[in-house]
Structure 1
Amino acid sequence: MRSSAPLIDIHCHTAGIGAGSSGCFVSSAMRRNKRFRFFLKTFGVTEAELIDRGDELVLERLSQGLAESRHVTAAVVLAMDGVVNARGELDEAATEIYIPNSFLGQACHNYSNLLFGASINPYRRDALERLEQAAADGAVLMKWLPSIQGIDPADPRLKSFYRRLYELKLPLLTHTGNEESFTRADNSLADSLRLRSALDEGVTVIAAHCASNGKNEGQPNMERLLSLFAKYPNLFADFSSLTQVNRLGHLGKVLRHTRIHDRLLYGSDMPIINSFITSPWWHARHIPLLEVRRIASIRNPWDRDVELKMALGVTEEIMGNSGRIVGAGSPRPILPPPV
């Protein structure tokens, strides 16, 4: 793939257990779940390594993988705020995974190819102050997972948060469609139609995963998302996770809507691309066998992901959209730590 626009992955996860005083944590319920060890393995780390070297080791491994990629220039790494209680404070008992902005924002400055994606539950008592701090720390977007964080994007109380997002020119990357990676979820909160409040305030909204699975009010979530594009030029969608075995054919469905090709953004959903769940072999019905074999032999997970998605119909022009949205034309210089 050769394109004049940089290829930026706008949907990359990290992980942490609190090692190295990161402030991250994983709930005991999640740590007992088989997903916990699966995710550590796909990140290429072990729990023992994190305890020994700290949670920043995950970011180091992500940066190394990106440096070795032929296609992907940089990635937006996403923080993960938690559930908030009635007092507007973090509810640790109800939170399964927590990756604070304070840790991630600083750690990303140590790597020229990692961009900081902040996460703030807008129901926090000091949400606006946290938003200002995230912007000052170099955040390139805001990430929500409403069905897990208990956020209702249609809540009128969020208007001031949306207005400040718009003023700061920070896109809102928010999960749409059903969430299946946690032990519990309220998927009604990830209904695309709930995003109209943010869109009406002018916020650039990125619907993660193109709302490609699940239904709300009996209607497929993807249909509900597609109904919004004509009215809102500030609406975009990332096609991360659409090559997973449980989403076979979903990427093709999205690409058939050519009128939104300029609104589609590349995201990997790392570390999922580093697992059997996104193996090219699941797509052998749609890609020539020799091409499947070639793509499957690619060692770098980002390169394998890019080439699989292009084999399924994503164009170079579509791949270039994400770099323009996050304003990351080239890797940043490594910044010194604050005094």
Structure 2
Amino acid sequence: MTVMNVADLVAIDVHTHAEISKDGHGSLSPELFGASADYFKAHGHRQPTITEIAAYYRERKMAAVVFTVDAEHATGHPRISNEEVAESCAEHADVLIPFASVDPWKGRAGAREARRLVQEHGVRGFKFHPSIQGIAPNDPVAYPLYEAIEELGVPALFHTGQTGIGAGVPGGGGIRLKYGNPMLVDDVAVDFPELRIILAHPSFPWQDEALAVATHKPYVYIDLSGWSPKYFPPQLVRYANTLLKDKVLFGSDYPVITPDRWLADFDKLEIKPEVRPKILKDNAVRLLGLGTQERTTDA
């Protein structure tokens, strides 16, 4: 038995990336990876294996949600296997929580895959990146997949705002920023009222829209990944301290931003003492359905 002792964790990072498979296959093309490195000034950052991610977080007494991005329809680049991500996370279930990514263009086939991944592989949620996947979040093509995820009772995490992927590449590498507008996810929250949704990142240039959606829709959360907290817009900090104190989540965007850097800057942010543990761990524990102890069998 592999045990996650939630009580002993100091934080849960809800946003980390499996960028490379066991056989060295990258989750994105080298061109898009290079653009991301330029954007985050993260040249030379290693693409850790899932085993290395586990060791990193275990050393820090943290847990992490791990996922890849399936954008094969739009990019032509084969994804990293969701099964591989889930199985590797299961080997380190004391610190890792597997999410999957299913290209929404797959429609009903994607819905079948989502059910199988949750029921047979222990996946705990799904990651969408509409800008890379080349689809508006509220496109009806994706609705069979959302329906399945809602029925399964696991969260859907949507990239929102600008993305470093494709930045500086001619034409942005074909990536359309408009699909990162949180108001498009508001339609999803209306049409799937029981679906737990995470709006990933401070949603520049749509921060106010993200705050509006999260305050209006009871099952919409915000993660704080992809930015150093010292750059957070003041309204985001204000809402995190008040109206959204139970709906804001710690996320780093590891490996391009490390939790060490993120937490060091978060310590300097004017967050109320009673709110800080909610953001770092407690809100994620509730959203992800983690008890005081999570037990799973090794894969």
TM-score bracket, shorter-length normalisation? 0.7 to 0.9
Deviations 1:278-332 (A, max 9, x none): xxxxxxxxxxxxxxxxxxxxxxxx3453242132134223222122211234675
Q: Corresponding residue for 2:151?
A: 167
Q: How does 1:1-339 map to 2 (within 5 A)?
A: 6=9, 7-16=11-20, 19-20=22-23, 24=26, 26-30=28-32, 35=37, 41-43=44-46, 58-70=49-61, 72=62, 74-84=63-73, 94-95=75-76, 98-112=79-93, 113-124=95-106, 126-136=109-119, 137-182=121-166, 183=169, 184=173, 185-200=175-190, 201-202=192-193, 203-211=195-203, 213-214=204-205, 221-243=206-228, 248-250=230-232, 252-257=234-239, 258-274=242-258, 302-314=259-271, 315-319=276-280, 320-329=282-291, 332=294, 335-337=297-299
Shift of 1:197: 2.7
Give the alignment's TM-score, normalised by structure 1: 0.72
Deviations 1:61-89 (A, max 9, x none): 1111111104x2x10011210232xxxxx
SS state at 2:146 partner: helix
Q: Return closer, same or farther for 1:12/1:31 CA change in 2, 3 Å cut-off.
A: closer
SS state at 1:10 partner: strand
RMSD (Å) for aligned C-alpha atoms? 2.9
Shift of 1:241: 2.1
**Max Rg structure:** 1
SS state at 2:64 partner: strand
Aligned length in residues: 274
Q: Return closer, same or farther for 1:270/1:123 CA change in 2, 3 Å cut-off.
A: same
Deviations 1:137-163 (A, max 9, x none): 111111011001112111123332222
Q: Kindly indicate whether the alpha-carbon contact (under 8 Å) linking 1:111 and 1:334 is maintained by their aligned counterparts in 2.
A: no
Counterpart-to-counterpart distance in 1, 2:225 and 2:25: 27
Amino acid at match of 1:8: I
SS state at 2:72 partner: coil
Counterpart-to-counterpart distance in 1, 2:33 and 2:278: 40
Which has the higher mean CA deviation after the structures are superposed, 185-194 or 226-235?
A: 226-235
Gap runs ≥5 in structure 1: 46-56, 85-90, 215-220, 275-301
Give the alignment's TM-score, normalised by structure 2: 0.81
Q: Corresponding residue for 1:282?
A: none
Amino acid at match of 1:15: E
Gap runs ≥5 in structure 2: 1-5
SS state at 1:230 partner: helix
Q: Give aligned-pair identity as a percent.
A: 22
Runs of 4 or more, structure 1, over 6 Å off, are: none
